[in-house]
Amino acid sequence: MKRFSLLLTALSQALVVLMFIQPAGAAEKPVLAVAEFKNQTSAGWWRGGVGWELSDMLTNELASMEKFKMVERRKLQSVLGEQDLAATGRIRPGTGAKIGQVTGAQYLVTGTVSAYQEKTEGVGGGISFRGISVGGKSEEAYMAVDLRVINTTTGDIDFSRTVEAKSSGGGINVGVYRGGFGGHLSKYEDTPAGKAIRGVLMEISEYLGCVMVDKDSCLGDYKEKETKRREKTKSSIKLDE
């Protein structure tokens, strides 16, 4: 009987300990909200509500990683109002707490398209038939986004990075609307511009997954990548060279 009591006591103590042990991978996911993207370039595809389209696309990329909890756009829009957060780089005094209280977001992700260039070269063989243009083209697109992750509690920038992508396409180009991205970006999905956009958003999501969640050997990889990027972009990037 005494042994049974001792065993019962040991089991009870073990259960108490297990209650306070957090299973691996059970840590709370960071809660992110993605603000409307801003544009500082003359990119021809930027029009209408493209800033929020890019916000939605990045939100989807981050959500699909299953490392973050994402705040819906409508909740964020009601709080942001007309604030130009991408330009200031900080949340106005008192606003950060409001964003966190109303939306539950711990971090606000902002992105500014700071560079965009295109290069198109004809390679011959262009024809047109019944309104469908088929041209021999060699196309290239370069895009850079200045990324900032703002802590909604302190208003400070906790993470920042310039993310770049370059995409090219060649051969026969068929100028027919195919849809894809949705909204104003639909017709750019299968173009070098669209591929550069998608590449930038994927790079942003992978970077945030590394520095905010994984925090493993990937940190060294991104540090090395940033060093190479800085060395490469000390002089202006020109696609026509």
CATH at 187: 3.40.50.10070
Query: Residue 223: its pLDDT value, please?
Result: 92
The residue count of the chain comes to 241
Residue 34 lies in a domain: yes
Q: What's the mean per-residue pLDDT of the chain?
A: 77
Contact at 8 Å (CB) between 112 and 145? yes
Using the structure block, give the residue that is written with the tokens 């994402």: 70
Region of poorest pLDDT, from 52-66, 70-84, 152-166, 227-241: 227-241
Give the whole-number percent of the chain exceeding pLDDT 90: 45
Residue 103 lies in a domain: yes
CA distance 175 to 131: 9
Residue 119 lies in a domain: no
Per-residue pLDDT band for 232 (boundaries 50, 70, 90) equals confident
CA distance 57 to 54: 5
**What is the pTM (predicted TM-score) of this model?**
0.73
Boundaries of domain holding 31 = 27-114+143-165+178-232
CA distance 230 to 235: 9
Q: Could you tell me where the beta strands, DSSP code E, fall in the chain?
A: 31-34, 38-39, 69-70, 107-122, 127-129, 132-151, 157-169, 172-175
Hey, what are 17's tokens?
């300990």
Nearest in space to 128 (alpha carbons), one of 173, 189, 86, 83: 173
Q: How many domains in the chain?
A: 1
Burial of 205 (0-12, 13-18, 19+ CB in 10 A): buried
